[in-house]
Amino acid sequence: MAWNSITISLQDSSDAAAFEDQLLSLGAVAVTFTDGGDEPILEPELDTQPLWTETHLTALFEVDTDLYVIKAALENEFGPETYTVIEQGQVEDKVWEREWLNHFKPMRFGKRLWICPDGQEIPQEQQGKKDVIVDMDPGVAFGTGTHETTAMCLSWLDAAKLRGKTVLDFGCGSGILAIAALKLGARHATCIDIDIQAVEASLQNAERNNVAKKLSAYLPEDSDWDQNEHYDIILANILATPLIALAQDIRRRVKRGGHIVLSGVLGEQESLVREAYEKYFNFDDTVHDGDWVCITAQLKTPSQQLGDEEHVTYCPNCDESFYINADVLDRADGEVRCGECQTVFYAIDFIKPDNDDENSNLSNPIDTGKIPAAHMVTGLWMHTPDGLISVDQAQASMAEQQDSSPPQQADTSELELSEATAKDPVHDNVNDTGTETGDQQIETETASDNHEQSGEQNSDWELAEPDAPETVDGVNPEFLYAMDENVPLNLDDLDAMQGTPKRARSRSWMLLAVLSVLAFAAQYIHQHRAQLALHPSLGQAVQNAYANLPFELEPDWQLDAYEVNASSVSLNPRDPDELLATFSLTNTAGHAQIFPLIRLSMTNRWGERVAYRDLMPEDYLPENATSLMDARGRAEVSVRLKDPGDAALDYNVEVCLPKQGVIRCQEKIY
């Protein structure tokens, strides 16, 4: 179907609305405003419709409409001097919202990321082995990578370390940024947009790229969207005005140490956007592309925002005031719970001026003895027989008990207080016949607590000393006969021995001497087995020998010599219900060492452990691997684990070793 088209140029752009109304009243099915010159309007003010100095109007009419009648009506209404007809004729009907796709070609961003229109392929001469391809059909939503603001975000994603990260795409459009992040290794992405067509386009493109199980898309008002969820990375490719208005909301959703990527900002607006975010973020270098900039930044810790001084904050719900300090806030990501009304809020947003008269009536919360429990505010709490108390109160109580009690032997494997309630028992699976093995699914904290209460421990990692014979008054009864003065000597036996030929006696003494030397050597090896097991040449032989003996080999391994690098936990691309944990394990010691136990813990937004897995060497080593790590050797580890659920947002890795039946872990947590 064809349409009659007429395009006019206005002498005064302020008449545009009146001309539009007249054209519609004459039967126009569509009226389009275009720039008659080269005067971009990049971000208009809210509730305004700015026009160019030279404005063109194009109107479409049914094909049987007489355009001369239309021109005569315009002259009669406005006068011939108010406009000029610059074009008229017929246009063929097309699917205009998709017509531009004919000019949409594959584009590369960074070193490996490609955005390809659905059905198109990367040119053969430009293909690489590590290419990451995002197939896109934006529909009517914004987001193809052709605009500078989207291109800068895609280039940032290509260079970022995304494996295992969670992403929020604020103003997602087609979902291009979220999907690119997922295909570059992100664990999960959430898309938010005020346009339902953008939400639908994001879900469809996720299906097209086989990442639908890792992407969620919502309208802001959808109840299914967890408003309290925190993200490692927030992408916001929207205009500067909403970016400034949403600064508090965006900050509230960033995880500790997380990043933001703010695009859609004009160069002259950069300082305004930075001003809205500088209180909470440390900025990276700004990227420029044409008239646009892309601002990236990392969330400050509360101590970086507040400094070392104490401040007074107040609850926005009940107006209760109290002191806070950066140490408390750092543990709770800046969020506190009001002891009066239990409201959780971001304390830094409600700091009172230092000269506020109400401040003089407050107690110092550092000294928990001076503060009523109802007014002690922190994001970290513990259940005790006396009720719900804060971690700071528990620490103060423990300090008092330690001051009043005799010294105890230090527990080298103790965890931080905030993790104490989640502490798990040792789980081993070497020669295990009665308990679950290390191949079991990640255990939840509830299961760990049950094991701990019952006192169960897998016996395979318990290193017991060899059983010694019972003694009487400290003397081995097997040798009492040689010391008992009441035992008579048999002279006939002596005579018989004296009558033995010298050669036979010589051989007997030689055999006895050899046996004595062997016994002494065996005793020496057994007593020094720990040191010998560390020997570069003898270590493997000692290990193999004791593997077939009923004795435990207990070397004095150097726990601090192990290092974990390049660790990550992400969704398994081959199975969305599994996690893939990878890390590099290094033995920095100058001698061989046993492969350690690796404790992998999944944590929630507060850093509290919600699930864990103790990885034995046989869990992460190939079948033909030796039991010792070479001096300064390195092993690349990859383990598949069951996904413990949405509560697990982060992870940490600990290196541990058995010592006399107890698992000792490094103080350092990776």
Residue 102 to residue 86: CA distance in whole angstroms: 27
Q: Which two tokens stand for residue 293?
A: 């900039």
Residue-range domains of the chain with CATH: 2-93 (3.30.70.120), 142-300 (3.40.50.150), 304-401 (no CATH), 421-467+535-670 (2.70.50)
Q: What is the largest CA-CA distance in the chain?
A: 153
Strands 215-218 and 188-192, bridge-based pairing: parallel
- Greatest mean pLDDT among 191-195, 322-326, 633-637, 661-665 lies in 191-195
- How far is CA 457 from its chain centroid? 31
Q: What is the pairing mode between strands 628-629 and 609-615?
A: unpaired
Rounded to an integer, the average pLDDT of 325-332 is 74
Confidence at residue 260, expressed as pLDDT on a 0 to 100 scale: 96
Q: Residue 408 — very low, low, confident or very high, per pLDDT cuts 50/70/90?
A: very low
The pLDDT tens digits of the residues spanning 516-563 come to 888 877 777 776 666 676 666 677 777 777 766 766 665 567 888 898
Residue 383 vs residues 288, 380, 422, 661: alpha-carbon distances, Å: 52, 11, 12, 30
Of 134, 205, 210, the closest CA to residue 574 belongs to 210
pLDDT at 565 over 90: no
Query: Taking a C-beta distance cutoff of 8 angstroms, is the pair 228, 190 a contact?
Result: no
- In this structure, which amino acid lies at residue 470? E
Of 657, 668, 622, 113, give the one whose Cα is nearest residue 428: 657
Q: What is the pLDDT of residue 454?
A: 37
> How many whole angstroms separate alpha carbon 517 and alpha carbon 329?
66
Amino acid 351: pLDDT: 82
Q: What is the pLDDT of residue 41?
A: 55
Instruction: With 0.85 as the threshold, say if the pTM is over it.
Output: no
Could you give the angle at the alpha carbon of 628 between the alpha carbons of 625 and 629, nearest 5°? Answer: 90
Q: How far apart are CA 203 and CA 215, in angstroms?
A: 8
Residues 6+ apart with CB under 8 A from 660: 463, 554
Of 559, 525, 557, whose CA–CA distance to 542 is shortest? 525
| Position 94 confidence tier, pLDDT thresholds 50, 70, 90 | low
The answer to whether 612 touches 581, Cβ cutoff 8 Å, is: no
Categorise residue 145: left if φ over 0, alpha if ψ from -120 to 50, beta otherwise.
Answer: left
CA-nearest of 251, 217, 216 to 234 is: 251
Listing DSSP states for 89-145 in one string gives EEEE---HHHHGGGG---EEETTTEEEEETT----GGG--TT-EEEEE--TTSS-SS
Handedness of CA 153, 159, 163, 164 (dihedral sign): negative
**Contact at 8 Å (CB) between 621 and 628?**
no
More confident residue, 127 or 173: 173
Nearest to 77 by CA among 9, 13, 19, 5: 19
230-250 pLDDT tens trace: 899 999 998 898 999 999 889
Give the tokens for residue 184.
Answer: 């570059």
Tokens coding 182: 């997922």
Structure tokens at 352: 């009172």
Question: pLDDT category, 100, cuts 50, 70, 90?
Answer: low
Local confidence band at 2 (pLDDT 50, 70, 90 cut-offs): confident
Mean pLDDT of 262-267: 91
What is the rounded distance in angstroms from the CA atom of residue 541 to the CA atom of residue 533? 8
**Residues with Cβ < 8 Å from 270, sequence gap 6 or more?**
286, 293, 295
Residues 334, 327: Cα–Cα separation, whole Å: 10
- Give residue 90's pLDDT: 83
- Print burial letters for 314-333: b (CB count within 10 Å at least 16), e (below 16): bbeeeebbbbbbbebbebbb
Q: Looking at 204-339, which runs of residues are DSSP E strands?
A: 215-218, 231-237, 254-266, 281-283, 287-289, 292-299, 311-314, 321-324, 335-337
Q: How much is the CA Rg of the chain, to the nearest whole Å? A: 37
- Token representation of residue 183: 């295909």
What pLDDT was estimated at residue 277?
95
Nearest to 255 by CA among 319, 372, 167: 167
Residue 447: the pLDDT is 39
Residue 103 tokens, joined: 């000019």
Helices (H) and strands (E) in the chain, counts: 18, 31
Q: Is 264 left (phi over 0), alpha (psi -120 to 50) or beta?
A: left
Instruction: Assess whether pLDDT exceeds 80 at residue 276.
Output: yes
Which pair of structure tokens corresponds to residue 90?
Answer: 């017929």
- Counted residue by residue, the chain has a size of 670
- Tens of pLDDT, residue by residue over 362-375, are 433 333 232 333 33
Q: Return the sign of the alpha-carbon dihedral for residues 128, 130, 132, 133.
A: positive
Query: Taking Cα atoms as reference points, which of 413, 417, 416, 439 lies closest to residue 426?
Result: 413
Q: Which of 178-182, 316-320, 541-545 has the lowest mean pLDDT?
A: 541-545
**Angle at CA of residue 165, ends 159 and 166, nearest 5°:** 120
Q: Which helix (H) or strand (E) holds 84?
A: strand 83-92
